[in-house]
């Protein structure tokens, strides 16, 4: 059994994020296109393209998700969000046609997570976005399952490179199930090995000290 | 769960041995065993049988289902049906591995048996994956699979549960109206 030296927190459920999850933290760094609805005085340094001291109303700029989520409010129109390319109509039909072919790593490695977060910014296309994400996952599931359960002792980088982060963690758990079964079948599961922590720390052995 | 734990559970199954020593009845917490008389068959749990075999104190009699004809029949039936056929022992994979590793000389046609059991295993695991795939792609809430053994369930458990978790997360997106609590 692998024992990690820290407790890994999984990403959050649905539209919520887990505060401590590393995946969620990295995902909230993605930049999203948005449009300011009110002026931001003296914050001109945030926008790289213009040199003015403040950001006038109606500028189009890019903001990271964590900032956009904090500033977004329906009543006081501070920001209005636009959907990134991948969640728009054009790409949605591509995903609908054949989800298994798309390279999700290139489309932003957090396709599912970011898609779930985009639903916070009430856009009229929300139900379709949610539906597309779900159908994409279901369509790609078969491939992920087959490749993870059948690739034993091979170089899996070609299989993994088109998967997004959520699918990668699924792939890892499928591989670990397969590996532990194969190890058992070979009879090596009760083979005692030194813990990786001990090897890495290069513990001083008493035999070396006495010599 | 580890495969090693499943193997540990499998070692409680009873198997017939023919000892070459004699011993009175022994009273263990789990039950009584014996008495052991040389040349007379007696039923013991697998863990004891393997231990005695390693010390060369007995000869293991293969269970009735561990026979090439029976296994071929089971394999053919497994390939024909779409559901899982009932198999003679809920721990067939572990027992095959244990008995064939330690007592191959007591079991006739050991290699053939190993191949047959591997075929049965592959067919069943393929059916399991197919049914898991249809379960997810049709987003059913309930699936019933009869006649699955613990070892087969164990290999797919972590993957299936994780993917069902993710599906639940993505499905909860479809119901908006969660309050933003910052």
CATH of the domain at A194: 1.20.58.2050
Give the pLDDT score at B66: 86
- Among A8-12, B33-37, B56-60, B151-155, name the one with the lowest average pLDDT: A8-12
Mean pLDDT estimate for chain A: 78
Q: Please give the average per-residue pLDDT across B109-138, as a whole number.
A: 88
Q: Please give the average per-residue pLDDT across B142-160, as a whole number.
A: 86
In a domain, A1, yes or no: no
Taking CA atoms, what residue in B is nearest to A119? B173
Give the pLDDT score at A80: 79
Q: Considering only CB atoms, which chain B residues are within 8 Å of A116?
A: 169-170, 173
Q: Considering only CB atoms, which chain B residues are within 8 Å of A112?
A: 166, 170
b/e burial code for range A187-196 (CB count within 10 A of at least 16 → b): eebeeeeeee
Alpha-carbon distance B12 to nearest alpha carbon in chain A (angstroms): 18
Per-residue pLDDT of A113-146, as tens digits, reads 788 787 777 777 778 888 888 888 888 888 888 8
In a domain, A135, yes or no: yes
Q: How far apart are CA A69 and CA A17, in angstroms?
A: 12
Show the 3-state SS of B85-112. Answer: CCCCCCCHHHHHHHHHHHCHHHCCCHHH
Give the pLDDT score at B178: 47
In a domain, A102, yes or no: yes
Interface test with B, best of A184, A185, A190 (most B CBs within 10 A): A184
A98 and A187 both lie in a single domain: yes
A175 and A191 both lie in a single domain: yes
Alpha-carbon distance B37 to nearest alpha carbon in chain A (angstroms): 33
Distances (CA, A) of B16 to A4, A101, B13, B52: 43, 55, 10, 12
In a domain, A3, yes or no: no
In a domain, A96, yes or no: yes
A53 and A115 both lie in a single domain: no
pLDDT tops 50 at residue B180: no
> Among residues A37, A53, A82, which one ends one of the domains?
A82
In a domain, A188, yes or no: yes
Interface residue B150 vs chain A (CB under 8 A): no
A147 and A122 both lie in a single domain: yes
Phi, psi of A172 (to 5 degrees): -65, -40
Q: How far apart are CA B70 and CA A60, in angstroms?
A: 74
pLDDT tops 80 at residue B131: yes
Interface residue B8 vs chain A (CB under 8 A): no
Helix (H) or strand (E) segment spanning residue A116: helix A111-118
A100 and A202 both lie in a single domain: yes
Note whether B113 and B107 are within 8 A (CB).
Answer: yes
Interface test with A, best of B159, B171, B181, B182 (most A CBs within 10 A): B159
* The total number of structural domains that make up chain A: 2
A64 and A89 both lie in a single domain: no
Q: How far apart are CA B158 and CA B155, in angstroms?
A: 8
In a domain, A31, yes or no: yes
A175 and A96 both lie in a single domain: yes
Mean pLDDT estimate for chain B: 86
Q: Name the B residues in 111-140 with CB < 8 Å from any A CB.
A: 129, 132-133, 136-137, 139
* Regions of chain A where pLDDT drops below 70: 1-5, 12-15, 48-51, 74, 76, 188-190, 203-205, 211
pTM above 0.80, yes or no: no
What domain range includes position A59?
8-82
> Among residues A82, A98, A127, which one ends one of the domains?
A82
Q: How far apart are CA A47 and CA A44, in angstroms?
A: 6
Asked if the Cβ–Cβ distance from A137 to B97 is below 8 Å, we say no
A135 and A38 both lie in a single domain: no
Q: How far apart are CA B120 and CA A75, in angstroms?
A: 63
pLDDT tops 60 at residue B177: no
ipTM entry: 0.81
Q: Say how many C-beta atoms besides its own lie within 10 A of residue A77's C-beta.
A: 12
Helix (H) or strand (E) segment spanning residue A80: strand A79-81
Tell me which residue of B173, B176, B168, B175 sits closest to B136, measured CA to CA. B168
Q: How far apart are CA A22 and CA A36, in angstroms?
A: 29
Angular region, A2: left φ>0, alpha ψ -120 to 50, beta rest = beta
pLDDT tops 50 at residue B74: yes
Per-residue pLDDT of B1-41, as tens digits, reads 788 888 899 999 999 999 999 999 999 998 888 789 999 99
The token pair at A196 is 């990786």
A78 and A97 both lie in a single domain: no
- Among B59-73, B112-126, B162-176, name the one with the lowest average pLDDT: B162-176
pLDDT band at B46 (very low <50, low <70, confident <90, very high): very high
Give the pLDDT score at A204: 67
DSSP per residue, B143-179 = ----S--HHHHHHHHHHHHHHHHHHHHHHHTTS----
A61 and A136 both lie in a single domain: no
pLDDT band at B179 (very low <50, low <70, confident <90, very high): very low
A91 and A78 both lie in a single domain: no
A100 and A77 both lie in a single domain: no
> Among residues A82, A98, A121, which one ends one of the domains?
A82
Give the pLDDT score at A156: 77
> For strand B42-45 and strand B14-19, is the pairing parallel, antiparallel, or unpaired?
antiparallel
In a domain, A24, yes or no: yes
pLDDT tops 60 at residue B181: no
């Amino acid at each position: 059994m692998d024992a990690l030296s820290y407790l890994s927190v999984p990403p959050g459920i649905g539209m919520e994020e887990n505060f401590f999850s590393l995946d969620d933290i990295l995902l909230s760094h993605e930049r999203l296109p948005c449009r300011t609805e009110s002026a931001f005085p003296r914050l001109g340094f945030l926008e790289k393209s213009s040199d003015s001291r403040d950001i006038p109303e109606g500028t189009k700029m890019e903001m990271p998700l964590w900032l956009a989520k904090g500033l977004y409010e329906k009543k006081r129109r501070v920001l209005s969000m636009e959907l990134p390319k991948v969640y728009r109509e054009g790409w949605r039909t591509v995903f609908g046609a054949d989800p298994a072919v798309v390279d999700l790593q290139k489309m932003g490695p957090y396709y599912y997570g970011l898609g779930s977060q985009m639903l916070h910014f009430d856009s009229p296309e929300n139900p379709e976005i949610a539906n597309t994400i779900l159908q994409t996952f279901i369509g790609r599931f078969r491939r992920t399952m087959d490749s993870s359960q059948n690739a034993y002792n091979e170089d899996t980088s070609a299989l993994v490179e088109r998967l997004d982060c959520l699918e990668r963690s699924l792939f890892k758990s499928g591989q670990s199930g397969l590996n532990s079964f194969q190890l058992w079948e070979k009879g090596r599961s009760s083979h005692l090995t030194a813990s990786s922590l001990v090897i890495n720390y290069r513990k001083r052995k008493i035999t070396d000290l006495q010599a | 769960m580890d495969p090693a734990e499943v193997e540990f559970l499998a070692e409680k199954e009873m198997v017939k041995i023919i000892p070459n020593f004699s011993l009175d009845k022994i009273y263990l917490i789990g039950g009584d065993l014996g008495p052991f008389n040389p040349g007379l068959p007696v039923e013991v749990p697998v863990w004891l049988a393997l231990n005695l075999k390693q010390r060369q104190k007995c000869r293991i009699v293969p269970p009735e289902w561990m026979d090439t004809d029976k296994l071929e029949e089971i394999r053919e039936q497994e390939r024909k049906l779409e559901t899982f056929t009932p198999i003679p022992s809920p721990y067939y994979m572990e027992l095959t591995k244990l008995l064939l590793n330690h007592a191959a000389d007591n079991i006739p046609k050991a290699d053939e048996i190993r191949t047959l059991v591997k075929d049965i295993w592959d067919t069943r695991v393929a059916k399991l994956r197919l049914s898991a795939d249809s379960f997810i792609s049709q987003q059913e809430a309930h699936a019933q699979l009869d006649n699955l053994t613990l070892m087969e369930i164990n290999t797919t458990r972590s993957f299936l549960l994780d993917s069902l978790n993710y599906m639940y997360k993505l499905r909860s997106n479809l119901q908006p109206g969660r309050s933003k609590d910052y």
